Amino acid sequence: MGILRIEGAETITVADGCQVHSGWTFEAVDGEITYVGPAEEFQPSDKPDDLIDGANSLLLPGFVNAHTHAAMTLFRGSADDMQLQPWLEEKIWPVERKLKPEDVYWGTMLAAAEMLRAGVTCYNDMYHLPEQGTRAAIEAGIRMCPSGVLLGFLSNAEDLLREAVEFCQDYDEAGDGRIKPMLAPHAPYTCPRPMLEKVIAAAADIGVPIHIHLAETEENVQSALDNYGMRTIQAMKEIGLFSVPVAAAHCVHLDETEIEILAESQVGVVHCPGSNMKLSSGIAPVPELLAAGATVGLGTDGCASNNNLDLLQEAQLAALLAKVHTGDPTALPAEVALTLATRGGAEALNLADRIGTLEVGKRADAILVDIDRPHFYPRHNLVSHLIYAARASDVRTTIVDGKVLLRDGQFTELDEQEIIAHACESADRLF
């Protein structure tokens, strides 16, 4: 991998708020950031193997997609504008039963290509046949937290949990350290209490976080009231879920006590505004969560409910939705939206010691955004431009673990046309 150096970029590290530093130098050696700071203070140790001219580019940490179901790219556009339950039971689950390993592999490859193009350098995946999705992520070079889906109502749920534990052990730190598995009970309404308790015990035992959907809809809350006699987050506290690190997708329907529980327990709340809007799930109280000190990241959710993996768009939606919801245009400003999309996601995935900001000692997951385009002028405020004016296609270069995977709009290794052809073949067979 060697020495990667980027010179002259407008730089946002997200380590010091969202300050923009003009013309800084960035260097990574073997994937680890060794310098990010003023050009005049930089003391080069050696000649770079890869020197990137950052002029007219904005350098920032890669986006973290903290909740998705990557291979559901194959479902994109196949079932829209439906209620959540019939959507799942009539459209999604019957097709998922037909999934073969190569479908998950190519669906995930398509997702990886889409995310790398959109500046997403790390994602949290919950999907069937996780070995296949993980194989795709390793080959694509992207960073990933994989997990299979544990559905407690299946007759072989215990076997699936045992396999999931083995998967976590087999794949921990795979892909040169880019893979960090989790255990993923789908949700409290699909995993009865005894199953959830077994998953929590297993996660504590092997030291992995849990990835789960919580309080996505009013019906989910009603289900918790019926089964536990209390609301979702209170019920999950009661059974000890928050005794291990948790990335909890959605967290839409919360009362004040639950907001406090999420903040106190340092749960990684993953806000998915696009999915919540499309499925009419509701609006997560993100400003209230942040005011309470909760950890919040952003997720796209799967492509059947979004319908893309564009995390920048989620940051834009998060900022706008919070303003509509509160009636307060100062709610969730651009700087906060950018923080959620990067550092917040890393914190939600328990990866903040490795990624999420551009700081010496962290892994070099970074992107360069082309700001020499009409919608980036005049340059009053580049953070504002990124959140309120930019689009994912402005990302020109994507670097994961110090390796340039997309350079000036071209993949360095992935064959995009081959991936699209295989993914379409899989979709043709499934539908």
Q: Which residues bind Zn ion (CB under 5 A)?
A: 301
The C-alpha angle 34, 390, 108, rounded to 5 degrees, equals 70
In the complex with Zn ion, which residue's Cβ is closer, 301 or 401? 301
In the complex with Zn ion, which residue's Cβ is closer, 301 or 310? 301
**Residue 189 near residue 163 (C-beta atoms within 8 A):** no
In the complex with Zn ion, which residue's Cβ is closer, 288 or 301? 301
Round to whole Å and give the CA distance between 417 and 415: 6
Indicate the angle between helix axes 193-206 and 157-171, nearest 10 degrees: 20
In the complex with Zn ion, which residue's Cβ is closer, 214 or 364? 214
For the chain, give percent helix, strand, coil, nearest 5. 45, 20, 35
Q: How far is the CB of 72 from Zn ion (least distance, A)?
A: 9
Q: How far is the CB of 314 from Zn ion (least distance, A)?
A: 13
Q: E-assigned strands of 82-233?
A: 120-125, 143-145, 210-214
Number of other CB atoms surrounding residue 228 within 10 Å: 16
Q: How far is the CB of 68 from Zn ion (least distance, A)?
A: 7
Round to whole Å and give the CA distance between 267 and 258: 11
In the complex with Zn ion, which residue's Cβ is closer, 134 or 147? 147
Q: How far is the CB of 416 from Zn ion (least distance, A)?
A: 26
In the complex with Zn ion, which residue's Cβ is closer, 27 or 301? 301
> Which residue has the closest beta carbon to Zn ion?
301
Q: How far is the CB of 127 from Zn ion (least distance, A)?
A: 10
**Residue 26 near residue 56 (C-beta atoms within 8 A):** no
Q: How far is the CB of 225 from Zn ion (least distance, A)?
A: 22
Q: What residues are paired with 249 via a beta bridge?
A: 213, 270
Q: How far is the CB of 143 from Zn ion (least distance, A)?
A: 19
Running DSSP on this structure, what letter comes out for residue 183? Answer: B
Size of the chain in residues: 431
In the complex with Zn ion, which residue's Cβ is closer, 208 or 270? 270
Round to whole Å and give the CA distance between 283 and 254: 10
